[in-house]
Amino acid sequence: MKKLTVNASLFIAFCGILSPISAAAQASAQEGIQKIKTNLENSRANLEEYKKNQNIVEKNITEVQKAKQNVEAQRKVLTEQVKENKTALGKIEKSEKQLISLIAEEKNKIQSEEKQAQEIELTLAKIKENRKKREENLQDYQGQLTQLQDEKKIWNQKDQSLKEMGQSIETQSKTVLAQENEWKLKKKGYDGEISRWGKEVERQEKYHDTYTTLAK
The per-residue pLDDT for range 134-145, each reduced to its tens digit, is 899 999 999 999
As a whole-number percent, the residues of the chain with pLDDT over 70 amount to 87
At residue 120, the pLDDT reads: 76
Whether 71 is in a domain gets the answer yes
Instruction: Please report, for the domain that includes residue 176, its CATH number.
Output: 1.10.287.2610
Residue 9 has pLDDT above 80, yes or no: no
Whole domain around residue 193: which residue ranges?
Answer: 9-215
Mean pLDDT for all residues in the chain: 84
pLDDT tens, residue by residue, 108-117? 998 888 777 7
Whether 4 is in a domain gets the answer no
Whether 202 is in a domain gets the answer yes
| Cβ(183)–Cβ(58) below 8 Å | no
Whether 171 is in a domain gets the answer yes
At residue 2, the pLDDT reads: 44
Q: Domains in the chain: how many in total?
A: 1
d(CA 123, CA 109): 15
Whether 2 is in a domain gets the answer no
Whether 1 is in a domain gets the answer no
Whether 119 is in a domain gets the answer yes
d(CA 73, CA 150): 31
Whether 155 is in a domain gets the answer yes
| Cβ(78)–Cβ(169) below 8 Å | yes
Provide the whole-model pTM. Answer: 0.35
pLDDT tens, residue by residue, 14-33? 344 444 445 666 777 788 88
Least confident of 91-95, 128-132, 167-171: 128-132
